[in-house]
Amino acid sequence: MNLPRHIAIIMDGNGRWACNQGLPRVEGHRAGAKAVHRTVRACREIGIEALTLYAFSEQNWARPEPEVEALMHLLLEYVRTERQEILGNDIRLTAIGDLERLPPFVREPLFALMEESASNQGMVLTLALSYGGREEILRAARALAREAAAGRLDPADIDEAAFAAGLDTAGLPDPDLLIRTSGELRVSNFLLWQIAYAELWFTEDTWPEFDRAHLDLAIECYRQRQRRFGRTGEQVLAAVGATGC
Ligand code: FPP
């Protein structure tokens, strides 16, 4: 049915949603957590293999302290309240980013649920936390450089597969579809290496408004795109035994 195997989402617009409702920003994040619940459930129902959510960027640490604290408490609440949802639906929870920066009161229950769900096969749910694409690439490059300097790796052997294996997302397929809400048309340091050939889909609606209809529309748009990976349209059609221009 040509579904995207991996969907990645930049969940943007929580603050604006709250402001439009006359609510404090943290209420936007709270409503955003409900949209996370809906979206995880919908992706699992649809049969998506991997879903990656940009929940907290490396740069988000620079937000006002009370907002950072509120987001950390929401993450803790998510891990606690969604435990049954994750385990009961055969979802494997993982996380990418500089996880050591997370406060222990978030990191410990998060790691415990990651471990508890590690053998689940239904869908991989990855939370990007304290995550930055450039930072991830630098970490991978440093690790490879250390191996080369120690004489354990020939630089000539560093190909795409070797590099990808050093990223936090090692083992996950690259995202096929990247969704961003709230009308911003940028990728904001998210999965920079991995989205090289992702199809992009944007909506003006904010993340707390995102629902099954948005997801279905994004997937439908994805299904109508022709992914060429640098080839011509004719080559792509010929590979599936069709003709056209
Ligand atoms: C961007 O909106 C959103 C974030 C920085 C945080 C995303 C967090 C959640 C969706 C809730 C918690 C996550 C989980 C997994 C439970 P913004 O605040 O930058 O919005 P704005 O651009 O309108 O200010």
CA distance 180 to 186: 8
Q: Say how many Å lie between the CA of residue 208 and the centre of ligand 1.
A: 9
- Looking at ligand 1, which residue's alpha carbon is closest to its atom 7? 55
CA distance 220 to 3: 9
Q: How high is the pLDDT of residue 227?
A: 86
To the query of whether residue 159 is one of the catalytic residues in this protein, the response is no
pLDDT, block means (10 residues), the chain with 245 residues: 96 98 98 98 98 98 98 98 98 98 98 98 98 98 98 97 97 98 98 98 98 98 93 90 76
Q: Say how many Å lie between the CA of residue 13 and the centre of ligand 1.
A: 7
Q: How high is the pLDDT of residue 243?
A: 76
Q: All domains of the chain, ordered by start, with CATH? A: 6-239 (3.40.1180.10)
CA distance 19 to 140: 39
pLDDT digits (tens, 9 = 90+) for 9-68: 999 999 999 999 999 999 999 999 999 999 999 999 999 999 999 999 999 999 999 999
Q: How high is the pLDDT of residue 245?
A: 60
Residue 92 CA neighbour count, 13 Å, CB half: 14
- Looking at ligand 1, which residue's alpha carbon is closest to its atom 6? 55
Q: How high is the pLDDT of residue 220?
A: 98
**Closest ligand 1 atom, residue 184 Cα:** 22
To the query of whether residue 14 is one of the catalytic residues in this protein, the response is no
- Looking at ligand 1, which residue's alpha carbon is closest to its atom 5? 56
Q: Say how many Å lie between the CA of residue 75 and the centre of ligand 1.
A: 11
Among the listed residues 60, 98, 120, 205, the single catalytic one is 60
